Chains A and B, each alone.
Chain A
Amino acid sequence: MMKWVLFIPELYYVLMAVVFFALSLQRKSEPRRLYTWAVILSGVGVLVAVLSARLEGMVFFDAYRVDLYSQVFKLLLALGTFWVVLTCSELEGIDSRQHAEFYLFTFICTLGMMMLVSAVELLTIYISVELSSYCLYLLVAMRRKTDEFAETGIKYFMVGSTASGFMVFGISYLFGMTHTTYVAELMKVLPGMMTEPAAIVGLVLALSGFFFKQALFPFHIWAPDVYQGAANQVTTYIATASKMAAAAIVIRFVGFSGGESAVFIKLLVVLSILSMTFGNLVAIIQKDIKRLLAYSSIAHAGYMMIGILSMTQRGYASAIYYALAYLIMNFACFMVILKIADDGHNLKIKELAGLHKRSPLLAMTLMLGLFGLAGIPPTVGFTGKFLVFAAALEQGYLTLVIIGMINATISLYYYLIVIKAAYLLEPVNPYPPVRVDKWTKSLAIFLVIAMVYVGIFPDQFVALTEAAARSLFI
């Protein structure tokens, strides 16, 4: 059946899961070999995602749609996964006996998220979300020597379960209102019902589950603790790949309202503002880089929301672009953190001291990444913000955009603190030199180039995201 071709990326990830399931059954764990396998397989995964990017069609009785929108996100997911796997050469945060399971859960999680972005049926969406969430719960809880951070797993789990409780409850209302679980029909019917409390509450509750994944205020509460407490690679994965899926599904769900309800939009505006402001303000006082980036991710969920809540094609496109930008620059930052803390400990800001001497390349990558997060040109982060703001202003949200910019300035402050540590501070005791292998080096250079290139030559990327956003509505 030709239709199965459409399912190839997912199948490929299933295959990977199977491979690692098999590997996990070995008596002896050989981290290096696992790593090599993982890199190769996930690298091919990216290739598969690229090759299948132009596929289009419906499978599984219209429960699963393959279109540009989903394929773009799948590509981003595959890319994020690949990058994360690539940084796993020193997977010190996780017991070496469990490396196979680590890769297994990572790939299954990616699979879940890939299905999430393609699913156009509520039950499928729900299952996919849960699949990826469960993997993440497990990955977070896998951290070795976790005395300090033992509570992380349970916090993540409890918040996540509660949020998914909200989500199911919300979906039940949506089901009650529309009598269907198919997104296509939902999108037809729901905008006309936005005056009914149940419809809008259902939407809001269902969105809570996704906001949880996106770490939007007030569903962010897990983020700081999890970012801090999870193994560095897992944090990286959560901060990059998992955010892509969340963005994709939030865009899809917000689109349900069809922009019909002003109150709903107002709610999103409020959430976006709160998220940006809260994230940025609290990030200022952080000492642990991962925790800082967690708060910054809360803020970024808010920025992304600005694009989404404009409810136009341009808005969704800008949010997709923003997601892409966020993936690249956030990963750049995390990669540097991973490489510096290669023994898997949690990096404090002050430990970056003297980085410009220890590894100029990593320092530069970090700087560009942070400037990108702060929205400074010519990095991709700026272009992302620009597009998002353009979409919002097209709908006339001037105040919102100004608040967003104020927040960007606040965020600059703490990013600068990190940059200062990397470029300015001299370490009190000399830290061990950073080992930068060839792979890391080329990855860093690639990221730097990508951040700048996508930032200043955005045309084709914007066109791509707009095409993707268009396919949301077909």
Chain B
Amino acid sequence: MNTLSTYLIIAALLFGLGLLGVLQRRNLIGMLISIELMLNGANINFMAFNRFLAPEPAVGQIITLFVMGLAAAEAAIGLSIILALFRKFRSINVERAQQMRG
């Protein structure tokens, strides 16, 4: 129901799903997508705490806003790096990127 723990669970699930994506997707863009999911999980947390616990409702919203902004920047940088990699490898399969080890 519309309680704090519901939101927290949803956030945790989102985070977990994101994590799963990061851990098993071979497509780098897929991993990036998963990271966005994780950030969204955190954002839901902020919003939920903001709604149910926080003294000032504005703060949580602002944090969420900034996280979004950063996520956008992050996505931009991530995508550019992925593209750079693609131009080298002609692939965005993360498993191609395992030359350095040990």
Contacts and interface: CB of A to CB of B under 8 A. Distances in A.
Instruction: Check if A and B associate.
Output: yes
Interface of A: 122-123, 126-127, 130, 134, 137-138, 141, 146-155, 157-158, 161-162, 164-165, 168-169, 171-173, 175-176, 179, 181, 224-225, 228-229, 282, 285-286, 291
Contacts of A176: 45, 48-49, 53
10 contacts: A123-B62, A126-B66, A130-B74, A141-B84, A150-B84, A154-B28, A169-B15, A169-B41, A169-B45, A179-B49
Interface of B: 11, 15, 18-19, 22, 28, 31-32, 35, 38-39, 41-43, 45-46, 48-49, 53-55, 59-60, 62-63, 66-67, 70, 73-74, 77-78, 81-82, 84-85, 88-89, 94, 96-100, 102
A165 to B, nearest CB: 4
A416 to B, nearest CB: 20
Contact of B84 (A148, A153, A228): A153
Contacts of B88: 146-147, 150
A146 B84 CA distance: 10
A169 B64 CA distance: 11
B55 A172 contact: no
Given A123-B63, A154-B85, A134 B22 contact: no
A137 B19 CA distance: 21
A173 B97 contact: no
B102 A165 contact: no
Given A165-B35, A175-B60, A134 B100 contact: no
Contacts of A150: 84-85, 88-89, 97
B37 to A, nearest CB: 9
Contact of A162 (B11, B35, B60): B35
B49 A151 contact: no
- The 3 A-B residue pairs with the shortest CB-CB distance, nearest first, are A151-B97, A172-B45, A176-B49
Given A141-B84, A150-B85, A229-B100, A169 B42 contact: yes
A158 B49 contact: no
A151 B39 contact: no
A175 B46 contact: yes
A75 B16 CA distance: 40
Contact of B59 (A141, A147, A151, A181): A181
A42 B50 CA distance: 42
Q: Which of A146, A162, A165, A171 has the most CB of B within 10 A?
A: A165
Nearest to B48: A176
Contact of A173 (B28, B45, B98): B45
B99 A148 contact: yes
B49 A154 contact: no
Contact of A175 (B19, B49, B73, B77): B49
Contacts of A158: 22, 28, 31, 35, 94
B100 A228 contact: yes
Contacts of B77: 134, 137-138, 157
Given A154-B97, A175-B54, 4 more contacts: A130-B70, A130-B74, A157-B77, A165-B39
Nearest to A148: B99
B59 to A, nearest CB: 6
A17 B81 CA distance: 22
Nearest to A287: B102
Contacts of B45: 169, 172-173, 175-176
B49 A172 contact: yes
A151 B85 contact: yes
Contacts of B82: 154
Contacts of B38: 162, 165, 169
